[in-house]
Amino acid sequence: MRQAFVPIGWAVFFSALALIVPVVMGRLEDGLWTFARGAVLGVAGSLLAVGVALIWTGSRQHSPPLPAGVRIALAANIVFLAFFALELSDRIVRQEGRIGYWSTYLHLPTLAIFGGLVAGRRWAWWTWRLVSALSVLWFVGFAVLVPFARLQSDGIPIPWYGRVYVMAITLAFIAILTAAFRSLGRPETRNWFGLPVAAKVSKPTVV
């Protein structure tokens, strides 16, 4: 269980940082200080403290580290948890509390998968590998459409640099999800989740 302190701490820490970003952006845009922004900032500050405490506590333990493949899969999951936290904060503080968005509904399932990965549950391995594979295919298809699709923001077509930004984020997600998919297939990762590892077939030698 002590092995989980560090990854959980990083998940909390980066999610807290993501919550702060829209608050700062909103403050710079209009110079206002609202109750919602103060509440989000207060929650983010508390989560930052919790995250640092978990990382510090976990780093002082002498338990064996998680396999590299597990750490990569967890890191990819943490990226999406932070992204969903950023989206949620943005909708609370900059979009008048309109939180009914696709990222809001994916936050809790992603958090559940993270918990399953930390606990070494087989269902989490299968779920995250399937999700990462399907998501890579979806983002690749989306990347192909970005240069030609009619992209809008609040009903206004986005400029060319907006398309570049969308493409960059899409390619980043593809790279992250691909790394997660490949890391889950490593033998040491499968062993950690208690999954069978395919035996290597030795090549015949020519005498």
CA of residue 117 relative to chain centroid, distance = 13
Least confident among 3-7, 8-12, 97-101, 121-125:
97-101
pLDDT band at 112 (very low <50, low <70, confident <90, very high): very high
Q: How far apart are CA 104 and CA 84, in angstroms?
A: 7
Q: How far apart are CA 79 and CA 70, in angstroms?
A: 14
| Domain extent listing, the chain | 2-192
Q: What digits encode the pLDDT tens for the residues 3-53?
A: 788 999 999 999 999 999 999 988 888 877 888 889 999 999 999 999 999
pLDDT band at 61 (very low <50, low <70, confident <90, very high): confident
**DSSP character string of 10-66:** HHHHHHHHHHHHHHHHHHHHH----HHHHHHHHHHHHHHHHHHHHHHHHHT--PPPP
Q: Which residues contact 188 (CB under 8 A, 6 or more apart)?
A: 67, 68, 69
pLDDT for the residue 65? 78
How many CB atoms sit inside 10 A of residue 92's CB?
21
Kindly report the pTM of this predicted structure: 0.86
pLDDT for the residue 201? 47
